[in-house]
Amino acid sequence: MEILSNPANILENFPLGIVITDEDWRVRYANGTALSSAGSPANEVLGEHISLFASRFCRLDTRGELLRYIVHIVSFPPRELETKLVPVQTPEKNFVRVSARPFPTGQLPRAYLFTFGDSTHEGNVDEMKNEFISVVSHEIRTPMTSIKGSLELLLGGYAGELPSEAGELLGISLTAVDRLIRLINDLLDVAKIESGKMELHMNRLNVIDCVKKSMRSIRSLAEAQKVSIDAEQDGTIPDVFGDRDRLEQIITNLLSNALKYSPPESRVIIRVQHVNNSIRVSVSDQGPGIPPQQLDRVFDRFHQLEGAKKGTGLGMTISRALIEQHHGRIWVESQPGQGAHFFFELPVAAPE
């Protein structure tokens, strides 16, 4: 009964590792589970930077992803709960669920609460699921590509002139096949990202160039929906390090998403800013906005809000994963009836 009568004992023996830092990321509290995982006593841990604590926790990890994620949190402090399933290799492969969030306290101006928990079973199930999706998607893509080619040949008159009704039906079929191929490609991207097999070709580049190309690629869709896309730039924009194709994919996904919810004769605004030591890109629409209870599901797989035009439901999931691979962060802000505002930030490249 002593544990129940003393809240401190409950925290000390809680199965999750719990760490609280101050606004300078210095460890102010670590429970017994966290100290045991780090293999260090409290007097060595208290007062040191969270990245040093994480290096103790990760000292046997040959993958380094857990430590990289902690550094990412420090570089881009969370505004609300942020959680991620991270693989660790010590030497067998395990998974740790890491959560971080601002922690209100009367003693510190600002604090952050971290939790660490073993989620190996969840991670193994996710890996098997991703492998299954990858294999099935590969097997489906080949016949789908063949069907698409055959439909295009028929519509192009390869087998002679078609009756108007037959042409219309084949056109509908081609549209459906195109959508299936997009879904398959998105599924393969998700599987590659989550399995760590997505290769990025990082180079120094300017985000403005990516914005211009993405706007050109989506202009016809915007014109068909009678929505204007306007770009704004605040001052000089420094370079970032990134994969040009993937950054253009992210921006195109955000613009496409904005068009889904934009009424005719409205505007979508994409804005690029230099904020502190990051480049911030925002995409704002004049649609119905996102209900508060759905804000935390926007980046979930296959999740689409009511009123959206058809899509795969994976664009936002892929965008978040790619931004995280670029050591950046992405989030959304919205009020019902006032449109949605998507943001992502990338670190500024070091001077040449």
> How many domains would you assign to the chain?
3
pLDDT band at 148 (very low <50, low <70, confident <90, very high): confident
> Which of 157-166, 243-252, 278-287, 330-339 shows the lowest mean pLDDT across its residues?
157-166
d(CA 308, CA 331): 19
Within a domain: 231? yes
For 278, the 3-state DSSP assignment is strand
The domain boundary, picked from 118, 147, 182, lies at 118
Within a domain: 33? yes
Q: Is the dihedral of CA 274, 275, 281, 282 positive or negative?
A: negative
Q: Assess whether 219 and 335 both reside in one domain.
A: yes
More confident residue, 304 or 76: 76
Q: Assess whether 107 and 158 both reside in one domain.
A: no
Tens digits of residue pLDDT in 273-303: 998 889 999 999 998 888 877 777 777 766 6
Q: Assess whether 241 and 267 both reside in one domain.
A: yes
The domain that holds 91 is classified in CATH as: 3.30.450.20
Find tokens 């009836």 and name the residue: 337
Report whether pLDDT(344) > 80: yes
**pLDDT for 271:** 95
**pLDDT for 268:** 94
The domain boundary, picked from 66, 92, 118, lies at 118
Q: Assess whether 106 and 21 both reside in one domain.
A: yes
Report whether pLDDT(204) > 90: yes
Q: Assess whether 211 and 343 both reside in one domain.
A: yes
**pLDDT for 65:** 81
Within a domain: 180? yes
**pLDDT for 149:** 87
Report whether pLDDT(3) > 60: no
Count of Cβ atoms closer than 10 Å to residue 239 Cβ: 18
The domain that holds 165 is classified in CATH as: 1.10.287
Report whether pLDDT(107) > 90: no
Tens digits of residue pLDDT in 16-72: 888 999 888 999 988 888 888 878 888 888 889 998 888 887 776 777 788 888 888
What domain range is 157 assigned to? 124-194
What does the pLDDT average to over 310-333? 82
Q: Assess whether 108 and 140 both reside in one domain.
A: no
What is the reported pTM? 0.65
Count of Cβ atoms closer than 10 Å to residue 210 Cβ: 23
Report whether pLDDT(5) > 80: no
Q: Which amino acid, 1?
A: M
pLDDT band at 123 (very low <50, low <70, confident <90, very high): confident
The domain that holds 308 is classified in CATH as: 3.30.565.10
Within a domain: 299? yes
**pLDDT for 117:** 85
d(CA 199, CA 222): 31
71 phi and psi angles, rounded to 5 deg: -65, -40
More confident residue, 10 or 7: 10
Q: Assess whether 95 and 218 both reside in one domain.
A: no
Q: Assess whether 172 and 275 both reside in one domain.
A: no
What does the pLDDT average to over 253-262? 90
What does the pLDDT average to over 99-115? 78
Within a domain: 352? no
Within a domain: 52? yes
Report whether pLDDT(188) > 50: yes
Percentage of the chain exceeding pLDDT 90: 22
Q: Assess whether 229 and 163 both reside in one domain.
A: no
d(CA 279, CA 239): 8
- The answer for residues whose C-beta is within 8 angstroms of residue 234's C-beta and 6 or more apart is 271, 272, 273, 274
Within a domain: 212? yes
Tens digits of residue pLDDT in 232-242: 998 889 999 99
Within a domain: 64? yes
The domain boundary, picked from 59, 92, 118, lies at 118
By C-alpha distance, which of 34, 42, 40, 41 is closest to 15? 34
- The answer for residues whose C-beta is within 8 angstroms of residue 152's C-beta and 6 or more apart is 174
Find tokens 């097997």 and name the residue: 139
pLDDT band at 119 (very low <50, low <70, confident <90, very high): confident
Report whether pLDDT(206) > 90: yes
d(CA 205, CA 275): 17
